[in-house]
Structure 1
Amino acid sequence: MVLVKRMMFAAVAVLLMSVAAHAEEGFPFGTEMTLEAVPQPGSKRIPNIEIGDNGEVVLELWCKGGKGQFSVAGNTVIFVPGAIQDRSCPPVKAQADDDLVTALAAVETWKRQGDVLTLIGPKPLRFRTNGN
């Protein structure tokens, strides 16, 4: 009887760990993430995205900011940019922001490994979950 209880406990533990691991690998809705990039010269700012529970996105880029929307089905992802605020950006930062929004709009698939989300398209983008 004790052996049966231990086996059942072990099976439940393995099942719970499997579910938790799978949940961690899902698309990171409800998460704030930072682009894996170095700051531009003269700035400490690095682009980040805040992904809402329904895929709504708040973007803080090199200089500009805005909104967008992720739609996810399996490993397919579509990003639709919304209005982007100009904020009187220097030309170099404005171009970097435009290039990043273009790259986000071109993503096709995604994968997640732990706290890293890779958006895969013509230019792969890696974002890391912000720690507390």
Structure 2
Amino acid sequence: MDFVTPRLKFAAAVSLAALVAGLLAGNAPVNAQEFPFGLEMTLEAARMPGSKRIPSLEIGDHGEVVIELWCKGGKGQFSVAGNTIVFVPGAMENRSCPPERAQADDELLAALSDAATWRRQGDFVTLVGPKQLRFRINTN
């Protein structure tokens, strides 16, 4: 006599699949899946006088970055391992702009380079270093 019904076999298979999925998810770095690869983020900052720009990062699937600052623009690279982050800026295009915007751009690049860890809460990513930088993920 077979005591295992088809319904019980199905329930056991679903439970096993859920267990395996949970174990596999537990082996992945927690934050690596949450880092906004393939998305664009905008710095939580006020506009500078005389400018409509707010700095943004467009992060590619492999960490490559197109960066637009208050005045300058260029490329860079993010490397992420768990909650650790490294940003390496590339060459920046020097556009003609007032000295205060150029200085703000340089300070922001330095703060990005100094960031050592990161965290994400919903649509916000904070890069943490000597100065915290909070970005909003563009969801539109």
The TM-score bracket by the shorter chain reads 0.7 to 0.9
Question: Which SS does the other structure have where 2:101 is aligned?
Answer: helix
Determine the structure 1 residue equivalent to 2:134. Answer: 126
Q: Distance in 2 between matches of 1:54 and 1:74?
A: 15
What's the offset of the Cα at 1:43?
1.7
Q: Distance in 2 between matches of 1:69 and 1:24?
A: 15
- TM-score for both structures, normalised by structure 2: 0.78
Aligned with residue 119 of structure 2, among 104, 111, 124: 111
Determine the structure 2 residue equivalent to 1:37. Answer: 45
Per-residue CA deviation, residues 38-72 of structure 1 (Å, 9 max, x unaligned), is 00012221000000000000000001001100011
Determine the structure 2 residue equivalent to 1:97. Answer: 105
What 5-or-longer segments of structure 1 have no aligned partner? none
Is 1:31–1:50's contact at 8 Å kept on the other side of the alignment?
Answer: yes
Question: Which SS does the other structure have where 1:93 is aligned?
Answer: helix
Determine the structure 2 residue equivalent to 1:74. Answer: 82
Per-residue CA deviation, residues 76-111 of structure 1 (Å, 9 max, x unaligned), is 000000000111121010000000000000000000
Q: Distance in 2 between matches of 1:123 and 1:102?
A: 10
Letter in 1 for 2:109: V
Determine the structure 2 residue equivalent to 1:57. Answer: 65
Higher gyration radius (CA): 2
**Corresponding position: 1:26 with 2:18:** no
Number of aligned residues: 123
Per-residue CA deviation, residues 2-46 of structure 1 (Å, 9 max, x unaligned), is 8995xx59x95xx79xx7xx7896111001000000000122210
Aligned with residue 85 of structure 1, among 93, 103, 126: 93
Q: Distance in 2 between matches of 1:57 and 1:109?
A: 17
Q: Distance in 2 between matches of 1:113 and 1:97?
A: 26
